Amino acid sequence: IILANLKKNAQDEQSQNLYKALRENLIKLISSNWRIENTLWNSYDSFTGIGKGLPSFSSASSMILFILSEDYV
């Protein structure tokens, strides 16, 4: 939701840079966890980025597909 609103309403360069940085960080976080553990997680530690909660819980992490395509419905 945050990414969708940032993309839609980013009028200035700072907002556009924030959108790009947040999007790139989310993609890196989920893909690096996938490469290491071959699973999606319910949540990710805000300090370490390590997946936690329920393994193979794809509803939250599946949002990465929307983030990759930038198709925010």
pLDDT in tens, 15-51: 889 888 988 998 899 889 889 988 888 888 989 988 8
pLDDT category, 57, cuts 50, 70, 90?
Answer: low
pTM recorded for the entire structure = 0.76
Residues 36 and 69: their CA atoms lie apart, in Å, by 23
Query: E-assigned strands of 18-69?
Result: 41-44, 51-55
Closest by CA to 32, choosing from 44, 21, 22, is: 44
